[in-house]
Structure formats: C-alpha cells, structure tokens
Amino acid sequence: MCRDFPRILALYQTGKLKLDELISQRYRLDQISEAYADLLTSDAHRGVIVFDGA
C-alpha cells in the first residue's frame, strides 16, 4: 500500500486523478456539528473537514 501513495500523488499532481471534483462540501473545523448533521440527513454526500492552512 505504501508504494501506491507516490503514484496516486503523482497522478493527482499531473491532473490525471480528479480528487477535488469528488468533494461536494467543505466544512471548517468549527462547523463540525453542521457537517455531522448533514451526514445524517444525507445533505453532504462527500464532505470534508478543512483545517486552517489547508
């Protein structure tokens, strides 16, 4: 599995692996309650928590 990460990263960096398009919603850490509520109601299909500086 560890050998796959450099290849996956290279695909992402060259634009051949479209990960950003898979994210439907981004939440700040202080919105974690909203993110969890959306998860339970299926309003956020592919939400991620974005930390400061990310």
Give the pairing type, strands 47-50 and 25-28. Answer: parallel
pLDDT in tens, 34-49: 999 988 887 667 889 9
Whether 53 and 28 have beta carbons less than 8 Å apart is answered as: no
pLDDT in tens, 13-31: 999 999 999 898 999 999 9
The model scores a pTM over 0.85: no
> How far apart (Å, rounded) are the C-alpha atoms in residues 23 and 54?
14
